[in-house]
Amino acid sequence: MFKKKEKATKKPSRTFVLISNRINLLFFIIVALFTVLLLRLAQMQLVDEKFYQAKLKETTTYTIKTSSPRGQIYDSKGVALVENEVKEVAAFTRDNSMSGDDIRKLAIKLSSMLTLTETDVTTREKKDYYLANPKNYQKIVDALPDKKKYDHFGNNLAESDIYANAVKAVPKSAIAYSEDELKIVALFSQMNATSTFNTVSLTTGDLTAEQIAVIATNKEDLPGITVKSDWERQDMNTSLSSIIGRVSSQKTGLPAEEADTYVKKGYSLNDRVGTSYLEKQYEEYLQGSRTVQKITVNKKGKVIKDKVTSEGTKGKNIKLTVDLEYQKGVEDILNKYFKSELEKGNTKYSEGVYAVALKPDTGAVLAMAGVSHDLDSGDLSSDALGTMTQVFTPGSVVKGATLTSGWANGVISGNQVLNDQPIQFAGSSPINSWFTSGSLPISATQALEYSSNTYMVQIALKLMGQEYQSGMVLSTDNYKPAMEKLRATYAQYGLGVSTGLDLPGESEGYVPSSFEPGNVITESFGQFDNYTTMQLAQYVATIANNGKRVAPHLVEGIYDNNQDGGLGNLFKTIDTKVLNDVTIPAGDMDLIKEGFYNVANGSGTYTTGRTLANGSSVTISGKTGTAETSVKGDDGKSVDTSNLNVVAYAPSDNPKIAVAVVLPHETQLRGSITQDITREIINLYHKLYPMN
């Protein structure tokens, strides 16, 4: 019997196995990818929810900040020195859907409704205006070579790169606009530079009632255009104008070099800020708080929420220590005397005349006035800033500081007597006091009263470790330490260092780092380093208040606004700031004050400042100074001139005012003009504010 033959099992083909494995692998990969995707979605929705919510808000919510009017500046009596001129202006708010062409067409429409004035535009702004027209843009792009439109693989370049190449390709002939067209370009540029949902006040002529009505009537055809109140800083053109400073325009916005700092403080790039002097120094108070507005748009760009989250307020006001009436009176005095001397030819080569008046006990600036003389045109102009920026050789007014250095360093004591005598160094001309006629024993107070140069020279020699002998060779030993000692003492009075004035841009004087032994000698009687009038005023104020150096300040206080936006209640007082005490015993300071009193009121043969007291309404103490200088005359030859300087305070027994007056390069050489000026400045103050 035959067995039934078993059917052989057919094995899968190799091809089938490979396909099956690939399908399984593909299925596994798909499952794995879906798993990763699900995990990633879970992470985004659960773990990273806050992050993506923030990103969503970042792309759909706009925060808009609008500045408020700036605070005002007043004199000590509440007279406005600078105000905000409020006026109606055309404003543009950029919608998030606006294209450059939309803005171009809007600018053209507005040009027929407003009086356009601005024509100052850059070449780039002209090209942007030209390319805002789609036809012009397409024409320029079509003409570009392929490498300016495509990369090496034939892909389109980024739109920003193509636009940049199009800008470069715009021919000059295409942007040769007329004056009227340039006005439209300027208007377009202002609007085109505005970021989404921000508002800019357009620079145009003042709006008339008719123009305002036209804008209101055509509102639907003028998207983003409104009429709103805006302000411009208005300087009242006083003798204090130069120290008020400037405010940037909305167009210039934040100064480029300080933009990052301001932005970190919450400023916008187009905010108007103080760029110099008081406007800059007190920016944090003068700048108003900003209105903050949050605008939310949906995916289609439609505004779905518009909310003001913070209402802005006008900036705070500042009130100065200076009475404008007194300031003007001081300037008038300077003008009167300078013009008189100019007519006589005595101030032909002088740069002007400067005066500073301070309250010795508080440092409050009572006046800082200057008259600048243009040596080419002969014109005179106000120059209050010159009191803190112009430096001059002071002459003998610094001798009180030289005595102080002698006492502080132990080379003289008390009212020590030294001989005023010709100082003869080997191989050089003698140094004399103006009255020297042999050997005259004088005390420290007499050295001030008579203005002895040689008394001061002997102090300088002692600081160098030398005693004077006729015909001696001036040693080069210890001259640098001696100069350091002199300058260190001078600095305690504010000479050669910052006075601490609350105004940026103050000069610290001219104090050369390189000098010779002979310069130490001339330094002792004020013929080497140069100082500002403000520094000399601080110096004499320090003497007046018995050795306390107080920082001068122009601002008395910060004030809120009243209901009308004017000077309101006091917010903050600017306190007196004592910088240092002069390191000498009180008795030695009394000797300086005695010498200063005798300068104006002494009866000695060589008393130097009697003109100060002649006709004064209160007792005056002070020190005169004459620094020998020279200038080049009209014929090119050297002309001898003098800096005529005075420092003084009054009343002598209870000082209420300290004054410094500087008149450089006067040709009369030893005139009393600055004494007359100083006396009149003090008398005027006594008239306005009687001093007991």
DSSP 522-567: HHTTTSSSBB-HHHHHHHHHHHHTTSEEE--BSEEEEEEE-TTSSE
Q: What is the CB neighbour count within 10 angstroms for residue 161?
A: 13
Within 13 Å and on the Cβ side, how many CA atoms surround 89?
18
Residue corresponding to tokens 């105000």: 83
Contacts of 82 by beta carbon, 8 Å cutoff, 6+ apart: 72, 73, 233, 234, 235, 236, 244
| CB distance 577 to 363 below 8 Å | yes
> What's residue 387's pLDDT?
97
Residue corresponding to tokens 């018995």: 546
Residue corresponding to tokens 């499952």: 31
Q: What is the CB neighbour count within 10 angstroms for residue 33?
A: 10
Dist. CA 282–CA 81, nearest whole Å: 15
- Encoding tokens for residue 460? 């300088």
CA Rg value for the chain: 38
- Backbone phi, psi, residue 137, to 5°: -65, -45
Render the burial of 511-548: b for 16+ CB within 10 Å, e for the rest.
beeebebebbbbbbbbbbbbbbbbbbbbbbbbbbbbbb
| CB distance 187 to 116 below 8 Å | yes
Dist. CA 229–CA 190, nearest whole Å: 18
Q: Which residues pair with 548 in a beta bridge?
A: 581
Query: Which residue ranges in the chain fall short of pLDDT 70?
Result: 1-12, 14, 44, 47-48, 52-60, 299-301, 303-304, 692
Contacts of 557 by beta carbon, 8 Å cutoff, 6+ apart: 318, 319, 570, 571, 572, 573, 574
Q: Which amino acid is at 543?
A: I
Render the burial of 92-104: b for 16+ CB within 10 Å, e for the rest.
bbbeeebebebbb
Dist. CA 134–CA 164, nearest whole Å: 15
Q: What is the CB neighbour count within 10 angstroms for residue 419?
A: 14
Dist. CA 131–CA 590, nearest whole Å: 79
Does the predicted TM-score (pTM) go above 0.75? yes
Sign of CA dihedral 205, 210, 211, 216: positive
Render the burial of 303-324: b for 16+ CB within 10 Å, e for the rest.
eeeeeeeeebebbbbbbbbbbb
* Residue 278, CA distances (Å) to 78, 89, 443 in order: 16, 28, 45
Dist. CA 402–CA 526, nearest whole Å: 9
* Residue 85, CA distances (Å) to 91, 230, 231 in order: 17, 8, 5
> What's residue 647's pLDDT?
98
- Encoding tokens for residue 61? 């919510």
| CB distance 621 to 597 below 8 Å | yes
3-state secondary structure of 605: coil
Q: Which amino acid is at 32?
A: A
* Residue 123, CA distances (Å) to 11, 130, 159, 173, 175 in order: 82, 11, 21, 12, 8
Q: What is the CB neighbour count within 10 angstroms for residue 5?
A: 6
Helix (H) or strand (E) holding 480: helix 479-492
Render the burial of 573-586: b for 16+ CB within 10 Å, e for the rest.
ebeeeebeebebee
β-sheet with 303-310: strand ranges across = 61-66, 291-297, 303-310
Question: Which residues are the active-site residues?
Answer: 396
Dist. CA 169–CA 190, nearest whole Å: 23
Helices (H), 206-302: 209-217, 241-244, 259-264, 277-281, 283-286
- Encoding tokens for residue 4? 């039934």
Within 13 Å and on the Cβ side, how many CA atoms surround 275?
15
- Per-residue model confidence as pLDDT tens digits over 564-614: 888 999 999 999 999 999 999 889 999 999 999 999 999 989 999 999 999
State the virtual CA torsion across 122, 124, 129, 133 in degrees, nearest 10.
160
> What's residue 68's pLDDT?
83
> What's residue 1's pLDDT?
44
| CB distance 64 to 292 below 8 Å | yes
- Per-residue model confidence as pLDDT tens digits over 261-301: 988 888 888 888 999 999 999 999 999 887 777 777 776 66
- Encoding tokens for residue 248? 């940037």
